[in-house]
Amino acid sequence: MNEKGENPNKRIPRQGGTSWWEPAVEIFTEVSGWIAGPIILALIAGKYLDGRFGTKPWIFLGLTLTAFIISAFGIVRVISRYMKKMEEENKNKNNQDY
């Protein structure tokens, strides 16, 4: 029980009728996409271009490094967007409590 005598473990339905786990799956999917997408494309393209131009392993390594940087920026962008969303939900929840 909290200060107001409410059970904090009581399941509260989310607005819009979504399940409690849907936001977590959405974040996981977006972050996974930012990890896998650029890196897989860079590995395939780097291997092909190295074979075509005979520069093994330099194009491969360059594209892989670039993909990691792109992935890092994408992940930071996704996480910061969700953090802002959570802060707004907390602010709205706190305003409704008063």
pLDDT for 5 equals: 61
Report the C-alpha gap between 76 and 59 in whole angstroms. 26
> Which distant-in-sequence residues (6+ apart) come within 8 Å of 34 by Cβ?
70, 71, 74, 75, 78
The domain locations on the chain are: 25-97
Please check whether residue 68 is in contact with residue 13, taking contact to mean a CB–CB distance below 8 angstroms: no
21-53 pLDDT per residue, tens: 898 899 999 999 999 999 999 999 999 999 999
What predicted TM-score, i.e. pTM, was given to this entire model? 0.74
Q: Is 16 exposed, middle or buried (0-12, 13-18, 19+ CB in 10 A)?
A: exposed
